[in-house]
Amino acid sequence: MALLPSDLSRETILSRLTARLIGRDLEVLPEIGSTNDAVMAAGQQGKAEGFAVLADRQRTGRGRLGRPWVSVAGVGIYTSVLLRPQLAPHQTTLLTLTAGLAVAEAIRVVAGVRPELKWPNDVLLQNRKVAGILTEMASLGPQVSHVSVGVGINVHHGSEDFPPEMRVAATSIRLATGRSVDRGTLVATVYDTLDRWYAIFCSGDRTRILQAARAQTATLGRDVTVACGADRWQGEALDLDADGALLVRAEDGTVCRVIADDVSIRSGLRP
């Protein structure tokens, strides 16, 4: 049976935590299928919001659009947090952006670098993906009943930890900065920053979230390819709307609201 490494000690993480809600009820495991599955099940069973699951390794970690998430032991942060926001299902994109702001802030505080966001759920360092957010939800009629906000951060990964086809697009804090940050400190900081950004989200202050997201989103002002199943089209990413959807001007001039599709930034220098 796998042992929990000392840098992910529950007691140490709790001793560093200043969050009021997020991570106060914390389960830390050496190994799990997916922390998002554990948190969705806990939500179903009535656990209170703020509950978090953290694992040293995931057997079946996953990302958006069913993609696998590299979840090797000893090198990453794989955690999910249970939230119960007052929300309609179509508004979860704004929550994903909020979590992205929290993760970017935690990386900035702990690693001393300034990540960017790639809409809707990626955190980038040097134009490569260092972290991702997977928001999954269950609804009761028109209202969200619970959400799992899953956060994966590549911390100590070397390029050999990523499959060859991912090596150009993925990075880790160590690869991008040469620094080895403490995973326990980073995850406690993620819970703290998410606690603060989630309080802003619940206060209804969308303007603050959208302003911060606009300022940090590398996607805006760029030429993008939007993929929806087999269908692909190109345009310019203009802005975020009030729900956090991406507004993209297609080549025929129409402005489309993109909610759940896959958006990639086309190469080329920023204007």
Residues at the interface with ligand BTN (CB under 6 A): 34-36, 58, 61-64, 67, 69, 78-80, 121-122, 132-134, 150-152
How far apart are CB 252 and ligand BTN at their closest, in Å? 30
Residue nearest to ligand BTN (CB): 132
CB within 8 Å of 9: residues ≥ 6 apart:
28, 184
Provide the CA 230 distance to its chain's centre, in angstroms.
25
Residue 238 or 259 having the CB closest to ligand BTN: 259
Q: Which is nearer to ligand BTN, 31 or 236 (CB)?
A: 31
Q: How far is the CB of 53 from ligand BTN (least distance, A)?
A: 9
Closest to 33 measured CA to CA, from 9, 62, 76, 4: 62
| d(C-alpha 39, C-alpha 55), whole Å | 12
Residue closer to ligand BTN (CB basis): 42 or 151: 151
Nearer to ligand BTN, 92 or 121 (CB): 121
Task: Give the span between the Cα atoms of 116 and 111, in whole angstroms.
Answer: 14
In terms of CB distance, is 99 or 210 closer to ligand BTN? Answer: 99
Q: How far is the CB of 60 from ligand BTN (least distance, A)?
A: 7
Q: 3-class DSSP state for residue 219?
A: coil
Tell me which residue has tokens 């204007």: 271
Q: Enter the tokens of residue 56.
A: 């040293």
| CB of residue 37 to ligand BTN, shortest distance in Å | 7
SS3 state at 205: coil
Q: 157's torsion region: left (phi>0), alpha (psi -120 to 50) or beta?
A: beta
Q: How far is the CB of 248 from ligand BTN (least distance, A)?
A: 20
For residue 242, the minimal CB distance to ligand BTN (Å) is: 24
φ, ψ for residue 44, nearest 5 deg: -60, -35
Cβ within 8 Å of residue 47, ≥6 positions away: 25, 82
